[in-house]
Amino acid sequence: MSPRYAMLVLCLVGCGAPPDLPDAGDAGEEDACVALTCAPDECGTREDGCGGAVDCGGCASGGRCVANRCEAECSADHECAPAEACDLSAGRCTSECRRGARVVLDVPALEVEIVLRLDGAPLPETSATDARLQLIREGGDFALEGHVALYEDGARITSPRAIVSPGRYHAILVEGARHLELGTVEVGPDAERLEVTATTVEPPLEVRFEGASAAWLGGALRFVSPALHERAGVLVPLGDLVDGRGTLQIVPGVYDVYYEPSGTRDERVAARAARLFEGLAVDGSPLSLELPLARLRGTVSLGGAAFPSGEGLTLQVASPGAWPVPVMHTDGEIDLVVPRGPVTLGVTPAAACTVTLDAGPASAIDIPCVRSEVRIALRRWPGPDACPLAFTTDEATTWVGHHELEDRVGGTSRWTLWGSPTTHVLRVASHECPRDVAVLGYGASIGVVDLASPGPHDVESELVPVALRATSGGAPLEGAVGWWGFEHPFAEGYYTTARTDAEVWLVGSEPYALHYEPTWPEEAGDWPATHRRLRDAIEPGASDVELERTEVEVVTTLAGEPFAAEAGLFGPRIVLRAVEGPYGGTRLSLGATRFHALPGRYSVAFERGGATSTPLDTLPPSGIDLGCWEIP
């Protein structure tokens, strides 16, 4: 007897009424396999988990089944969803990088009607300033904005229209010098209208400045949203205030407040683009602003002696949150307006000749600085045909100046250096050299000088020859198209260039990274037309540089339609940038372009080119991210 039935017999004896026994066919149903079914987005045939198969059917028209998922078939970007691109190598839409040697890029664009209402009403019928609406892509560069004309010859345009791409924009009403921020607006992928509405307040405004009246100070205050560039925002000319009082028309919100000098005030106001207030809440309540500015007056001496005239030296003022400002027409006497607190007064061109002091009246200001002679000898100087070098120091905020070596026998240069009485590292500060004999090395150290000791100071360094020959498939590339770029470790992210056929000499023995910098695709011929970092370190002497090439084709459309646009440096273009570093990009004219590319991954973007503010009548604003492209 089985144990199961033995327990049943015992229970019948001592457990009262017998239970309902299961039918023999029900045994083990709790362990039966449950077959899997299809998810809504699945397609094709796959295992059901029980040893069988389940058919999930096909995809809708325009789709293909890949790994049991429906993916859209495509032949161009505009056939894909907004966040996807068309990978022609697989014939499908993807949210990852395109791959392959051919792409059909689409610049998303749609025409919308602009509807603008301010304080519940449309703009006035006439305008003396021909106001316009400025649109800046959220998270984009202020320099890449576009605008929409709202008036023509002083009369309001009934239904202004603009070409935009989907996304979020900062909207700014521009009327002459007045910039009124209207907030952010959203453009959907199927939008036909762009409605911009804003309600303003006019709080009483009082501005005080302890050194003089607001009218004497001149310039203007600019109220700017923290998300925008300081050139945007609401401008309040201080000269328009009466005894420092006036009103401010503005949309309620949180603003940073900048001071901007104007006109001849630049000569005495050293607070250009200084941020005076951060996170100021504006809600219609009266605003009383004590400007954190002060006057700095006194006589400046240099190294304990009178400020030297005729030496080409200029005073410069720097303060936290403000751009450095040169002090014009000075002979050592200063009367300046500066941000309150510590400011740095320095001399240019010079090496670290600065003094930091608190703003306020000062009768005498001495800047520690000495004048010394420095003699530089570059051994193995290639001769008079070599392009010149310039030098700077680690501590200098500006170049010491260009000191040409081409007419110096043996590559010796003698020049005067102003600097603080301490130790300075001299470095090369030359830029691109397109000449036949290129001497390069931006950032390379050529020696150390201690200006605490009297000169003259002698510095020597050696030039290292580098001969590079471009090859493709092991065969030399004919002609000379493009440039080699040499990146010194000290100048990471910046490299100097020489033509690919130039005789190249590098300063010092430290390792340089090697880049290839292309010319325009239309001029490249058999040479690559894309930039890449090729090597982390190059060896002195002669060597071949293999430039792998893939012939590619780029076709550009605008909202799915053929795109014919004027070519050239300042026209609209597609920009390819190598993903691995902050380096220059390849600019492609719109339409269809064939060229050779170096394999690798590139970011892709649309740029308008041309002027800072461009009308949105035929093209959307600049800065449209078109994803990435991996070239095999």
HEC string of 59-107 equals CCCCEEEECCEEEEECCCHHHCCCCCEEECCCCEEECCCEECCEEEEEE
Indicate the Cα dihedral angle 357, 361, 363, 369, nearest 10°. 20
Q: Are residues 284 and 300 in the same domain?
A: no
On the question of pLDDT at 426 being above 60, the answer is: yes
Of 336, 367, 398, the residue that ends a domain is 367
170 and 234 co-located in one domain: no
Same domain, 209 and 234: yes
Provide mean pLDDT across the span 597-604: 93
When pLDDT is averaged across residues 565-592 and rounded to a whole number, the result is 72
- Structurally, how many domains does the chain consist of? 5
Does residue 168 share a domain with residue 158? yes
- The domain boundary, picked from 268, 291, 314, lies at 291
* pLDDT on residue 433: 80
Q: What is the per-residue pLDDT for 69?
A: 78
Contact by Cβ (8 Å): 86, 104: yes
Instruction: Say if 395 falls within a structural domain.
Output: yes
Does the pLDDT of residue 431 top 90, yes or no?
A: no
Q: Which of 316, 344, 367 is the last residue of a domain?
A: 367
Same domain, yes or no, for 233 and 174? no
Average pLDDT over residues 11-29: 44
pLDDT at position 613 = 64
In a domain, 136, yes or no: yes
pLDDT per residue as tens digits for the range 475-498? 999 887 889 999 999 888 788 899
The strand order across the sheet containing 573-578 reads: 98-99, 624-631, 600-607, 573-578, 585-589
Handedness of CA 442, 443, 444, 449 (dihedral sign): positive
- Distance CA(498)–CA(515), nearest Å, equals 11
Query: Has residue 36 been placed in a domain?
Result: no
Same-domain status, 129 and 238 = no
Q: pLDDT averaged over the chain? A: 82
Identify which has the larger pLDDT, 2 or 235: 235
Write b or e for each residue in 346-367: b if 16 or more Cβ atoms lie within 10 A of its Cβ, otherwise e. Answer: bbbbbbbbbbeeebeeeeebeb
Residues 137 and 246 in one domain: no
Q: Band of the pLDDT at 15, cuts 50, 70, 90?
A: very low
Q: Are residues 51 and 102 in the same domain?
A: no
| Same domain membership, residue 384 and residue 300 | no
- Is 586 among the domain residues? no
Least confident of 354-363, 374-383, 575-584, 592-601: 575-584
Domain that holds residue 339: 294-367
* Count of C-beta atoms within a 10 Å radius of residue 249: 14
Check residue 120 and give its pLDDT: 94
Tally the C-alpha atoms within 13 A of residue 433's C-alpha that lie toward its C-beta.
27
Q: Assign 465 a pLDDT band (cuts: 50, 70, 90).
A: very high
Instruction: Look at residue 617 and tell me whether its pLDDT is greater than 90.
Output: no
Examine residue 393 and state whether it is found in any structural domain, yes or no: yes
- DSSP state for residue 491 in the 8-state scheme: G
For residue 500, name the pLDDT band (cuts at 50, 70, 90).
Answer: very high
Cα angle value 525/529/534 (rounded, 5°): 125
pLDDT score for 382: 85
Same domain, 362 and 412: no
Report residue 329's pLDDT band, with 50, 70 and 90 as the boundaries: low
Question: Residue 188 sits in a domain of what CATH number?
Answer: 2.60.40.1120
Residues 592 and 598: their CA atoms lie apart, in Å, by 19
Write out pLDDT tens, residues 132-153.
Answer: 999 988 876 655 678 899 999 9
Within a domain: 3? no
Higher pLDDT among residues 567 and 83, named by residue = 83
